[in-house]
Copies of this chain bind each other. A is one copy, B any other.
Amino acid sequence: MASTKVKPLGQRVLVKRLDEDETSGGGIIIPDTAKEKPQEATIVALGTGKNEEGKEVPFSVTEGDKVLISKYGGTDIKLDGEEHLILSESDILAIVE
């Protein structure tokens, strides 16, 4: 994990984009012609989990989960040289098991 720690706020998570050779083999292929092309990533850190009213909503993902994320939404940052993304949990489409 990154030596610089980033703790997302609220219902956001920090994810690391997966390199081509880390993606789930031949299992998931995202067609180039897909209307909205999802991306594979790994959960690096969960946010504080507080919603806008200040109540805690438990996350459905945990650190280390491999996920499919929506192409749109999220903010790119580089942590220790690697591409990361801070995004809302609602922009995670699915967990790849």
Contact = CB atoms under 8 A, between A and B. Distances in A.
B95 A6 contact: yes
Given A35-B76, A50-B60, A90-B52, A27 B9 contact: no
Is chain A's binding surface mostly helix, strand, loop or mixed?
loop
A74 B68 CA distance: 13
* Count of this chain's copies in the oligomeric assembly: 7
Nearest to A57: B54
A48 to B, nearest CB: 5
A21 to B, nearest CB: 16
B97 A86 contact: no
A6 B94 contact: yes
A70 B34 CA distance: 16
Contacts of A24: 4
